[in-house]
Chains A and B, each alone.
Chain A
């Protein structure tokens, strides 16, 4: 499914992976998360080989995967709770962070009461609270409407500035990739390899003004070119 992909991310770097549907991006993430053992190759984190071992990265999938029967606070504190941290301590830590994630006052609500954007922020908060240095985001905003998504893009940059983490983002939206990432890997179809790398050197914070910037358009164009080149081959 994957053939010779070499990816690297520096500490606190935001890396986006763009590729055609079904190219094996999610398989790549499963390998990085240790859920799937690769037939060849290795995963290194901070100089350690973590191939096939779970618990090293925090993972957020396309669906928010909130547990319906848990209140917001218990949902976002899931990671520490599973890691054996006392529930009260985990909840207290989570509660203090609710305002940052725009969930202030919603701690005792159930997920069914939240809007799509709020659910996604809760899922992201759960991912951040896992206290891992590497975050894997698998198309986290693809199920949201355009306006909600635009709001979350700006907000995610703020959160990443406040809580520095290395982030790998899978997306099939070139604009999202250019807006959020420091570096973009464009993948080919199956078996996937790296088609090209685009460095994004736009100043942060990037917002809707950035989208109008000619340099933004140029970078987006380069990503799209790589994607279309792949399509037409």
Chain B
């Protein structure tokens, strides 16, 4: 257990600290100009100084991120399910969906601003457009990964199509869907920021554009830090949801060795000798 703790928490934390420390030393040692590369300590100081400016912007960007992610999740999963379940839709729509990904979303963003104005809507749409694709692809993969023998078993038990979907196809595809959701979570930070670059008067993306025009590189880094942290928070939220939704992947009741250590094993009746725990 302690070894796991060292591997999973202590080691990455030490590496992170080392990188930040090196950064600080290089900037201070070589006397790098503040507007080229600010030291970590100045970034943190600037973050607290500008808190009253950055916090409202963070709120705006976080809102876009969450709404965009929610939209991407709803559309991405639904689209994936439809594409995977219907051969007709799969063959006719999937190439179109893939082709749509070769269009740089950043190029469409100004058009969205023309259509929907300087509102939150075009930025949410940009976020969703950037985030939905990996989720759709993963959902398709998850739905198609269902074992045909399981389907046969369900059919032999006279399961309806809805029962097969709800009790077999969807739960078996859920690990894939969560993998897609995690990618979508990190992409929605990019989406929200890009959306603000193209057309916004608020938000951290907008703040970065303004600050870099004034060579306030330190505050640009402070905004980047906040963006990165909000992406991490969203990712962790998805990971927590996955943990709760897929107990069979980590529960003690799913682990062979723990199961055998449990005293209840020894209460088994003699009829079991055939399947005595290995």
Q: Hey, what's the 0/1 contact readout for A15-31 against B, CB within 8 Å counting as 1?
A: 00000000000000010
Knowing A109-B254, A112-B256, A120-B275 touch, does A65 contact B150 (C-beta < 8 A)?
yes
Q: Residue on B with the closest CB to A149?
A: B274
Knowing A68-B248, A110-B251, A158-B271 touch, does A105 contact B264 (C-beta < 8 A)?
yes
Number of contacting residues on B, CB 8 A? 40
Task: Flag if B157 contacts A130 (CB, 8 Å).
Answer: yes
Whether A42 sits at the interface, judged by CB under 8 Å, is: no
Whether B31 sits at the interface, judged by CB under 8 Å, is: no
Q: Residue on A with the closest CB to B253?
A: A109
Residue in contact with B253 in the complex, picked from A57, A58, A108, A149, CB distance below 8 Å: A108
The secondary-structure label for the interface of chain B is helix
Residue in contact with B154 in the complex, picked from A82, A105, A120, A155, CB distance below 8 Å: A82
Task: Flag if A102 contacts B255 (CB, 8 Å).
Answer: no
Residues of chain A lying within 8 A (CB to CB) of residue B277: 115, 118
Q: Hey, what's the 0/1 contact readout for B222-263 against A, CB within 8 Å counting as 1?
A: 000000000000000000000000111001011110110000
Number of contacting residues on A, CB 8 A? 50
- Report which residue of B150, B152, B156, B174 has the largest number of chain A beta carbons within 10 angstroms of its beta carbon: B156
- In the assembled complex, the CB of B136 is this many whole angstroms from the nearest CB of chain A, namely 22
- In the assembled complex, the CB of B257 is this many whole angstroms from the nearest CB of chain A, namely 9
- In the assembled complex, the CB of B60 is this many whole angstroms from the nearest CB of chain A, namely 39
Residue in contact with B167 in the complex, picked from A30, A68, A82, A112, CB distance below 8 Å: A82
Q: Hey, what's the 0/1 contact readout for B134-162 against A, CB within 8 Å counting as 1?
A: 00000000000001011011111111000
Task: Flag if A102 contacts B269 (CB, 8 Å).
Answer: yes
Residue in contact with A54 in the complex, picked from B156, B163, B246, B247, CB distance below 8 Å: B156
Task: Flag if A78 contacts B157 (CB, 8 Å).
Answer: yes
Residues of chain A lying within 8 A (CB to CB) of residue B246: 69
Task: Flag if A102 contacts B248 (CB, 8 Å).
Answer: no
Whether A117 sits at the interface, judged by CB under 8 Å, is: yes
Q: Residue on A with the closest CB to B258?
A: A113
Query: For the complex, what is the distance from the CA of A34 to the CA of B157, rounded to whole Å?
Result: 10
Q: Hey, what's the 0/1 contact readout for A45-82 against B, CB within 8 Å counting as 1?
A: 00000000011011101010101111100000011011
- In the assembled complex, the CB of A34 is this many whole angstroms from the nearest CB of chain B, namely 7
Task: Flag if B256 contacts A82 (CB, 8 Å).
Answer: no
Residues of chain B lying within 8 A (CB to CB) of residue A113: 253-256, 258-259
- Report which residue of B154, B163, B259, B264 has the largest number of chain A beta carbons within 10 angstroms of its beta carbon: B259
Q: Residue on A with the closest CB to B259?
A: A113
Whether A225 sits at the interface, judged by CB under 8 Å, is: no
- In the assembled complex, the CB of A126 is this many whole angstroms from the nearest CB of chain B, namely 9
Knowing A113-B259, A150-B274 touch, does A69 contact B171 (C-beta < 8 A)?
yes
A and B contact pairs by CB, cutoff 8 A, 5 listed: A71-B253, A102-B272, A113-B255, A118-B277, A155-B272
For the complex of A and B, 10 pairs with smallest distance between CB atoms: A151-B274, A117-B275, A102-B272, A55-B158, A113-B259, A110-B254, A105-B264, A152-B274, A110-B248, A59-B156
Interface residues of A (CB under 8 A from B): 30, 33-35, 54-55, 57-59, 61, 63, 65, 67-71, 78-79, 81-83, 99-100, 102, 104-106, 108-110, 112-118, 120-121, 130, 148-155, 158
